[in-house]
């Protein structure tokens, strides 16, 4: 799947965001090792702390369906380029050490990073062996 298509999926997922508190809609779409695509949006909660980011929604959907390897993940939000929070970077690290992270404003305007650039010297499953 092309990067543009992945961004399109993230933009579609963004529309599903449940954000009554921040009003800040985020969407994510990832492509797994076998080519399957999983999408996610941020889902907030009246108690605030149970809220979850779009990236983690997509990743947990993928993992819970048996897909543990992320090849690339695209993230879109309402404002300018929006980068994954630290917690999401750590969750991407767990399932996508070599993942490409696409930060997009639109299908044509995006930046691309290796996870390692966003989370250098990260802690991962290998460190526990
Ligand atoms: N958020 C995400 O979903 N992903 C990000 O990369 C940054 C922040 C969400 C969390 C919360 O619902 C809202 O954006 C404002 O922080």
Q: Give the pTM.
A: 0.97
Structure tokens at 42: 């941020």
Cα(26) to centroid(ligand 1), Å = 6
Tell me which residues have their CB closer than 6 angstroms to ligand 1.
19, 22, 24, 26, 42, 44, 51, 53-55, 75, 82, 84-85, 88
Three-state SS letters, the chain: CCHHHHHHHHHHHHCCCECCCCCCCEEEEEEECCCCEEEEECECCCCCCCCECHHHHHHHHHHHCCCCCEEEEEEEECCCCCCCCHHHHHHHHHHCCCCEEEEECCCCCEEEEEHHHHCCCCCCHHHHC
* 23-80 confidence digits (pLDDT tens): 999 999 999 999 999 999 999 999 999 999 999 999 999 999 999 999 999 999 988 8
Ligand 1, atom 6: closest residue by C-alpha: 84
Cα(27) to centroid(ligand 1), Å = 9
Catalytic residues: 55
């Amino acid at each position: 799947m092309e990067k543009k298509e992945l961004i399109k999926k993230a933009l579609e997922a963004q529309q599903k965001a449940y954000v009554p508190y921040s009003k800040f809609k985020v969407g994510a779409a990832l492509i797994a090792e076998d080519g399957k695509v999983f999408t996610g949006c941020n889902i907030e909660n009246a108690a605030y702390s149970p809220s979850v980011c779009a990236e983690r929604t997509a990743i947990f959907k993928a993992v819970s369906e048996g897909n543990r390897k992320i090849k690339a993940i695209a993230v879109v939000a309402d404002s300018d380029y929006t980068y994954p929070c630290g917690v999401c970077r750590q969750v991407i690290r767990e399932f996508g050490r070599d993942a490409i992270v696409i930060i997009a404003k639109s299908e044509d305007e995006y930046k691309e990073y290796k996870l390692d650039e966003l989370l250098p010297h990260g802690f991962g499953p290998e460190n526990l062996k």
